[in-house]
Structure 1
Amino acid sequence: MLKNEFEDIIIQETPYYKNLEKRYRDTINFRRYYWVLKRICPQDNFVKYLEGKKGKELVYLGRKIFSLQEEFVSNYLTFLDDETQVTRWEKFFERYNKTLFEIYERFVGRHSERVMIFEIVNRKLLRDLLTKYIMDKNVDKKIVISERFGKVVNQLFAYIRHSLAKFTPIHDGLISDSYEQLPLLPKCGHNETLKLLANKFLGKGLPEPIFSAIYRNIISLYYTRGKKEILDSIAKNRTLDKKGLIEIFNSYFFFPDDQALSEILEALKNQARAMVGDIKLRREKIEHKMLSIRSKIKDITSSLADNLVHLTEDFSTEESIENMIKRLKRSLVSQGYDLKILKGEYQVYLEQENSLNAILNFKLNDLTKFITRNEWDPLIILLFEPKKKFDEEPIQTVIKNVMGEIKNNQSAMRVMANYKVGGFLKEKYNINMINEKFYEIVQDVIEPFVKALLLEEMIDYYPKLSGVVSSEGIRYLGEEVLAERALVVEKDIRVQPKRTGEEVRLNISRYKNLVSILVYDIRGSTFMGTKLRDAKKESEIRNLFQESMLSAAEKYGGIPIKDTGDGGIILFAANHYDIKNNKTLVPEPGNVLSVVRSSLQMVKDAETFVEENIHKYKNWFRDAEERKINFEGITYATLPPSYKTIFQIGVGIASGQYPKEVYLDKNAFGEFDVTGMLVREANFYSKIKAKGRSTIVCDDATVYNVLLNVDKFSFLSESGLRIDPMLLDTEQGLEYWINQKVSRKGFILDLYKIFVSDFGQEIKHPGSIKILVGVNDIVIDETGEIKDGKGGRGKFLFEISTELGR
């Protein structure tokens, strides 16, 4: 497996990708309606094919198929307006039929499920196109058009399926039981759709107004078969809030009656009570920590203030006072950072507790607000309900009230005359016969319609007829097309080759939570010492610089471990507060974004240090051998190269598992100390130099952890910085995002404006460690381990910066 293949697997597990998947595959609605479809058609082969899907099947339609279908709708509508143009229509249809079959055949290949996918997505497109063209027509005209279209489209696709069946096994029972029983209906509301089916109803023995009135009278608004799934979801949920409840209820086709709702409410409250107790304990711990920090801030301020007074009274150099002030600032920033994090955690727990307390006060009516009803749901419920025997008097009344709507429709009146029976002083109808006809229509018309609706909830197409697709939507589609997780009709896209054999399941979760070691190396420190020739001054200046570095590290939760003289070692862990306060020596793994941000802050502060102190170079280096250098009025740009390197830094970051790859303990002097491969690797990376600038190099574990924890990222490539994807149409945008991914040289953490670029590879053999740049024989085995051709273990390396090309 190559690096890009490995990263593609990681990308699929990132929260950003998961959110895109949830949105553009409409996973919640898909789960809900697949659950329904499976119960209506449990043995259908296509339904079984859909079972493994996480969301809607996505299909990208090239311009050719899109234009062809629009041309078909336009031409047939023209023919219906003037049927003397039959020759022109037949000539077009012959060409259309031939072209569509060729496209269909190329798309299907030997994949039998694609026969269904192609037909469903094309019927969905035709429905959308028809809707656009006839939206201003009256109902009677729409009925004629949809029925004529239905006959042509049904015959067309039946012919194509029959022709393809010679080469590919086709299981099209679901098509026959749904679309082929119906006209091609435009998209419209519930009531208008029933009117468009009026001829189907009448042909089965009931006028549409009669059917609709009875349906409204008898339909139940309750469906409780999904109760077990709802209860299981509540039991597994660890963040009960409004958004979570909506998602739980909308993931299943479930409309509870009072009894089922009461059971669910009780389960919710039991779960909420347990969670409130746990959150209160967590809040109390945070409150204790915040009190401790506030007390420590006062002690630090008081102690360092006294030290500043003593230094001022025994004044020797500015640097000693500056060091003390920086130490005060660093201590306050560190405590302030911890306090800020704890306040944030406290607020989150407080909001969660308030949300849970609201659930504990729920009444039945409050819970019903989280249940969303689609206008078609009553029709689905009608399919699930057992047949009811109508109550005589209510239905007689319903029919009587509706007869006025059909009195001018002779066909409808003749049908209703068949149900008339003698009545004392008033007209009556045979309710038993009407009862039978009603359920015959449910079976022969409503069920096919519902099946067709459900099939269209399983599949979606791009580009949208409106032409409006968000940049993120196009990006997600490009990602899926490239990996062959989305299908393409009439558009040549070079997809990534799939691995042969059984799919490998890599343990990506090992990157999700890590601890990090940051080692920084101060460039030019030896040169500075030789030029200063003053050990005391050298110590003061180095300490002044170190305070800047430690301040940047502690600002993001870093734990200073060791001053190496010409640099330092910093540990980053999720429980940094407890480690710093000697509560534990066991680092907790977590999101290592903080170490990345800290490293960038260190580089920035190193540059700021030079800018703020360059005017002191005249004093610092006045005894230097090179007296010819005039520091008066000098700027960084005009410094000699050897002096420019002073206070540049090299930062190395390595992340991994505790205690296997790094171990924290107290040394013989009672101070923190770390050992392990991460320390050696981070130190190795910190020695990497670039001409004229500081460097930050990290390992792959650091980058992959960040990707698995940030809300958004994009791919780093030169084209991405020259093109605004918002200016591209769907097809151009698709090609743009695919090119971005294929040609990527790293990643961009968009929300933080951080560039992460490919750097090279580290390879370890017994007794040696080296870095490779360029072409190599590095591969990833099936366990996720990176190795070279000789079996050496390694890592991919990345460079981090806030500017491209640094």
Structure 2
Amino acid sequence: MQSTEYEDIIVLETPYYKKLQKIYRETLYFKRYITIARRIIQGNGFLKMLEQRDGKELVYLGRKIFSLQEDFVMSYLNYLADESHVAKWETFFERYSKHLFEMSEKFVNGETNKVLIFEIVVRKLLRDILTKHTMDISLAKKMSISVRFGNVVNQLFSYIRNSLAKSMPITDTLIVNSYGRIPMLPKCRLPEAIKLLNDLMLTSGLPAPAFAAISKTLTASYCIDATEKIISAIKANQTLSKDNISEVFSSYLFYPDDTTLAEILELLKTKARDMINKIKEKRATVEQRMVDIKQKTRSVTKSISEELVNLAENFSSEDSVKNMIKKMQRNLITNGYDLKILKGEYQKYFETQHELNSILSFKPNDLSKFLIRTELDPFIILIYNKDATIEDEQCQTLMKEVISEIKNDKEAMTSMNNYRTTGFLKDKYNTAEITKKYRTIIDEIIVPLVKSLLLEELIEYYPKLSGITETEGIRYLAEEALAGRVSLIEKDINVRRRTETASKVDVSYYRDLVSVLIYDIRGSTFMGTKLMNAKKESEIRNLFQESMLSIVEKYGGTPIKDTGDGGVIFFTANHYEIKNRKTIIPEHGSTLPVVRSCIEMIRDAQTFVQENIGRYKDWFREAEERKIHFEGATYATLPPSYRAIFQIGVGIASGKYPNEVYFDKNAYGEFDITGMLVREANFYSKVKAEDKSVVVCDDATLYNLLLNVEKFSFLSAEGLRTNPLMLDTEQGLEYWLNQKRKSHGFILDLYKIFVAQLHEQATYPDGLKLTLGSDIVVKETGDLKDGKGGRGKFLFEIFSGEKV
């Protein structure tokens, strides 16, 4: 398995990608309706295929098929408005049928399930177009159009399926038992749908007003029993918020009665109380940490202030004073950032507790606002509640109201007269027979209608009929298309399908890691040679080191060792406890802090030179190059050898404690880290680039980043020159496909950090070999091995700004 394939697997597991999947595959609604579909459409292999997507089946439609369906709807509506143009319509329909069949044949390519996908998505598009063009016409006209439109579309797809069946096996029972039995209704609510189905209902023996009256009475009191699933979902959630509640309720068709709602509410309040108690403990811990940091800040600041006074009274050099000021600055900045982070945590706990308190104050009516009711739900409830009954007396009253409504409708009255019986002093109706006909209509009309609507709910097409698709939606579509998880009509791409090995890879190893950062100060030997003054060299180097330490501590790094010409830093999730020696057991977390710190270190290293160029004439007074004029020099005009001073090489290696790195006291009684990560980070820090500082990290660092950041995109030369916001859906899809194909890294959008893969083989004298290419194989465990089975790594350069 190649690195790109493994990166694809990592990408699929990232929070950012999961968020896109949730939005654009509408996973919550999919879960809701696939459950219902399994119950109504039993034992169907097509549904099992759809379930594997964990969300709606996505279909990309090219421009031609869009325009073709628009032409079809408009041509047929024009024909229905003036049927004298039958020859024109027949000519168009013959040409249209041929084009649609050719598209279908190419798309299906011998795959049975694709026959159904094609038909369902085209029917969905036709329904949307029909809805758009029939919004303002009368009910009677809309009824006629629905029936005739349904007939011609059924004939059309019957022809396509029969033609395809000549070269492949086709099972069309699902289509025949749904679309084949009903008109093509435009999108509408249940009351209007019942009216549009009046003629069909009359044929089954009951006028639409009678059916509507019974259905309204029965559905008003219906509760679907999803209580156990709701309770299990609430208990399984590690967190509790209004968004969580909304997500749980969205996943199920849930119309609870007052008793059930009260039961759910009590469960939520119990969970909220437990979480509040835990949050109070966490807030207390954070409060104590803030007190400790404030006390430490005051104590250290006082101590350094006294040392500064002592240095002034016994003045020897300006650099010694500056070093002490830098030390104070580092103390203030580090503690200030720790306080800022803790205040953020405290505020987050406060807000969470506030939301939990609001849940504690919920009343049943507050909770009912989270219940999701879609336009499709009433249709489904009709089926679920088919066998419910109405008391005879109530049904008699309903029928009298119906008679009053239909008294001027001869056909409807004739139908109802079939149920009239002679009663004492007044006519009555055979409610048992009426109920029987009601159930027949459910089976013969409503069930096929709901099946067709459910199928369309489980499939989504792009671009939208509105023509508006968000950039992130197009990006997600491209990513899925390249992986072979989008059905493409009128578009061919080279799919990068996942291998069997790839599908078994576990990426959980990379979610939480510790990191070792080692930096190497370039030109330190040159500087020492030119200075020829060990004391001054130490003061200058310490001044620079204070700048570096100020940054790494700001981002939660724990300084381990000053190597003289660099340093060793340890990044853990519990840096506060590690730094204050409250524990020596590191906790794994995100690599984002170490990556952000190295970017700032690079920037500060150059700033250090720029700020101190004016002092070079004093620092290098005895240098052999006396002809160099430092006065008025800029960073760009410095000789390369002097510009290289204080450039740095930074290496970042990430992994697991204690197998890959170990933290404990060494033989001298000082805390130290040892292990493979230390050797690897040191190796990476030696990588040099011409005339600049460089940061190199391993694959584990990158993979952890992707699994922990909110957003990222792909790094490619083309991507940096194009604004995807200016593109339409088709152009945007091609843009993102090219981004992925030509990608040589990633961009962390929110931080403007670029990560580009290195493409060279690197060898370290101690025997560590890193082959950056096809020689590395990814095992099912996620381990990377070289061709001989040894430890392998992919290396990446980290930088900020635009670089291709």
Aligned to 1:63: 63
Distance 1:205 1:503, change over 3 A: farther
Mapped to 1, the partners of 2:447 and 2:638 lie a distance apart of 82
Paired residue type of 1:321: V
Describe how 1:140-155 pairs up with structure 2 within 5 A.
Answer: 140-155=140-155
Q: Does 2:560 align with 1:556? A: no
Per the TM alignment, residue 386 of structure 1 is displaced from its structure 2 partner at its CA by 5.0
Mapped to 2, the partners of 1:169 and 1:284 lie a distance apart of 68
Mapped to 2, the partners of 1:704 and 1:161 lie a distance apart of 46
Mapped to 1, the partners of 2:763 and 2:402 lie a distance apart of 84
Aligned to 1:387: 387
Per the TM alignment, residue 475 of structure 1 is displaced from its structure 2 partner at its CA by 0.6
Aligned to 1:545: 544
Per the TM alignment, residue 165 of structure 1 is displaced from its structure 2 partner at its CA by 3.1
Paired residue type of 1:664: F
Distance 1:147 1:507, change over 3 A: same
Mapped to 1, the partners of 2:421 and 2:674 lie a distance apart of 96
Please give the secondary structure, in 2, of the residue aligned with 1:562: strand
Paired residue type of 1:340: K
Describe how 1:342-741 pairs up with structure 2 within 5 A.
Answer: 342-385=342-385, 387-424=387-424, 426-499=426-499, 501=500, 504-741=503-740
Output the TM-score relative to the length of structure 1. Answer: 0.96
Aligned to 1:803: 801
Aligned to 1:160: 160
Greater Cα shift, 353-362 or 536-545: 353-362
Per the TM alignment, residue 784 of structure 1 is displaced from its structure 2 partner at its CA by 3.1
Please give the secondary structure, in 1, of the residue aligned with 2:130: helix
Aligned to 1:777: 775
Q: Deviations over 1:281-315 (max 9, x none)?
A: 22222222111111111111211111111111112
Per the TM alignment, residue 482 of structure 1 is displaced from its structure 2 partner at its CA by 0.7
Q: Deviations over 1:764-785 (max 9, x none)?
A: 7995124556x65333344433
Asked whether the 8 Å contact 2:386–2:439 carries over to 1, the reply is: no
Asked whether the 8 Å contact 2:527–2:645 carries over to 1, the reply is: yes
Aligned to 1:131: 131
Please give the secondary structure, in 1, of the residue aligned with 2:590: coil
Per the TM alignment, residue 198 of structure 1 is displaced from its structure 2 partner at its CA by 1.7
Distance 1:335 1:494, change over 3 A: same
Paired residue type of 1:435: T
Name the % identity.
59
Q: Specify every segment of 5 or more residues in structure 2 that has no aligned partner in the other structure, as ranges.
A: none
Paired residue type of 1:546: Q
Greater Cα shift, 306-315 or 18-27: 306-315
Please give the secondary structure, in 1, of the residue aligned with 2:569: strand
Paired residue type of 2:777: V
Q: Deviations over 1:187-235 (max 9, x none)?
A: 2233222221121222222222222122212224442421111111111
Paired residue type of 2:799: S
Mapped to 2, the partners of 1:689 and 1:321 lie a distance apart of 33
Asked whether the 8 Å contact 2:652–2:681 carries over to 1, the reply is: yes
Q: Specify every segment of 5 or more residues in structure 1 that has no aligned partner in the other structure, as ranges.
A: none
Per the TM alignment, residue 95 of structure 1 is displaced from its structure 2 partner at its CA by 2.0
Paired residue type of 1:227: T
Mapped to 1, the partners of 2:164 and 2:578 lie a distance apart of 68
Asked whether the 8 Å contact 1:76–1:89 carries over to 2, the reply is: yes
Q: Deviations over 1:443-477 (max 9, x none)?
A: 21111111111111110011111111111111100
Per the TM alignment, residue 502 of structure 1 is displaced from its structure 2 partner at its CA by 6.6
Describe how 1:244-263 pairs up with structure 2 within 5 A.
Answer: 244-263=244-263
Mapped to 2, the partners of 1:407 and 1:329 lie a distance apart of 91
Q: Deviations over 1:401-460 (max 9, x none)?
A: 343432332212222222223345554433222222222212211111111111111100
Aligned to 2:792: 794
Asked whether the 8 Å contact 1:762–1:797 carries over to 2, the reply is: no
Paired residue type of 2:580: N
Please give the secondary structure, in 1, of the residue aligned with 2:793: strand
Paired residue type of 1:264: I
Asked whether the 8 Å contact 2:653–2:677 carries over to 1, the reply is: yes
Mapped to 2, the partners of 1:734 and 1:211 lie a distance apart of 47
Asked whether the 8 Å contact 1:762–1:794 carries over to 2, the reply is: no
Mapped to 2, the partners of 1:388 and 1:778 lie a distance apart of 64
Aligned to 2:322: 322
Per the TM alignment, residue 394 of structure 1 is displaced from its structure 2 partner at its CA by 2.5
Distance 1:752 1:503, change over 3 A: closer
Q: Deviations over 1:575-600 (max 9, x none)?
A: 00000110111110101100000001
Aligned to 1:243: 243
Per the TM alignment, residue 497 of structure 1 is displaced from its structure 2 partner at its CA by 4.2
Please give the secondary structure, in 1, of the residue aligned with 2:795: strand
Per the TM alignment, residue 399 of structure 1 is displaced from its structure 2 partner at its CA by 2.9
Mapped to 1, the partners of 2:57 and 2:223 lie a distance apart of 27
Please give the secondary structure, in 2, of the residue aligned with 1:444: helix
Per the TM alignment, residue 654 of structure 1 is displaced from its structure 2 partner at its CA by 0.6
Distance 1:789 1:388, change over 3 A: closer
Paired residue type of 1:510: Y
Paired residue type of 1:310: N
Please give the secondary structure, in 2, of the residue aligned with 1:703: helix
Distance 1:691 1:766, change over 3 A: closer
Greater Cα shift, 649-658 or 429-438: 429-438
Q: Deviations over 1:229-255 (max 9, x none)?
A: 111111110111000011011111121
Mapped to 2, the partners of 1:760 and 1:619 lie a distance apart of 42
Q: Name the count of aligned residue pairs.
A: 804
Mapped to 1, the partners of 2:470 and 2:343 lie a distance apart of 36
Q: Deviations over 1:520-554 (max 9, x none)?
A: 11111111111111111111111000000000111
Please give the secondary structure, in 2, of the residue aligned with 1:273: helix
Mapped to 1, the partners of 2:392 and 2:225 lie a distance apart of 29
Q: Deviations over 1:110-156 (max 9, x none)?
A: 32221211111111011011112222211111111111110011122
